[in-house]
Amino acid sequence: MEVQCTSMPSSSSGIDSTISKLRQLRAELSFLPRTDGSCALEQGNTVMWASINGPGDVPSSKRLDEKLYIEVVYRHGQSNLCSVEENRILSSILEQTVDTIQYPHKMLAVTIQEMQSDGSEMAAGVTAVCLALLDSGIIMNGIFCGICVAHCDDTLILDPCRKIIINADSLFTFVFKSSAIDHKVNLLLVPTSRSGQQEWLNAKRGAYSNMRHLRRRCD
């Protein structure tokens, strides 16, 4: 299954539309036959693959009696090096979104691979994981997506490419979650607090509406 989404300018007041656009998104689901769920996400020239295996059997050393054990592996490019920081962040997001109580004595294996890097890899990886989870059919209490923002010369730029990131003053990745119960949008991951944070949030919420539109087309 393939879906595409060309993002539209944000309607949030006070945010210049020229910096409130995401690069074109294209997602292909169920493309890995030996997994329970998978997603190949293209976000501009950044390409991320995410795969889901499970819930399934778990080694006794990792088995949890009352909930699902989640194992995350995030690999950078061709080096296949795993990132402790990305693994930690993604594990936290999944613990808050997957209904782990429904799967005691089971394991969920989540793998994210950077296939092509052109900026905003972590944000694209987060979104790819959510789409792969939806593809797998596992029980969740909401959906989530990642949005990257660069601060360049007093300008906020959504979904920056590598060229912009090189010259950025600072870079942040936010993760938004939309609850399946009350449909409220919450922040799961917040960057370091600093002046102007509300402006960052307004810009990101505009971008989140575009990401949510892509997910509707995947359902």
Q: Provide the pLDDT for residue 171.
A: 86
How far is Cα 78 from Cα 58, in angstroms, rounded to an integer?
Answer: 28
What phi and psi, each to the nearest 5 degrees, are found at residue 114? -75, 115
| Residue 172 confidence (pLDDT) | 86
pLDDT at 131: 97
Second CATH level (architecture) for the domain 2-218: 2-Layer Sandwich (3.30)
Q: For the chain, which residues make up each domain, given as ranges?
A: 2-218
For 184, phi and psi rounded to 5 degrees? -80, 150
Each residue's pLDDT, cut to its tens digit, for the chain (219 residues) gives: 554 444 444 444 344 444 557 899 999 999 999 999 999 999 999 999 999 999 999 999 999 999 999 999 999 876 666 678 889 889 999 999 999 999 999 999 999 999 999 999 999 999 999 999 999 999 999 999 998 988 888 888 899 999 999 988 888 888 999 887 667 778 776 553 343 445 555 555 555 555 555 555 555
Kindly state the tokens that stand for 194: 């600093």
Query: Which pairing describes strands 155-158 and 107-116: parallel, antiparallel, or unpaired?
Result: unpaired
Distance CA 151, CA 178 (A): 25
pLDDT value, residue 211: 53
Residue labelled with tokens 């972590």:
122
Instruction: Indicate whether this model's pTM tops 0.85.
Output: no
- The contacts of residue 97 (CB under 8 Å, 6+ apart) are 130, 133, 140, 141, 142, 143, 144, 177, 188
Predicted local distance difference test score (pLDDT) of residue 4: 47
Q: Which pLDDT value is given to residue 193?
A: 37
Task: Give the sign of the dihedral formed by CA 85, CA 139, CA 208, CA 184.
Answer: negative
Residues 129, 146, 89, 163, Cα dihedral to 10°: 110
Peptide bond into 55 cis (omega under 30): yes
Residue 85's pLDDT is what? Answer: 83
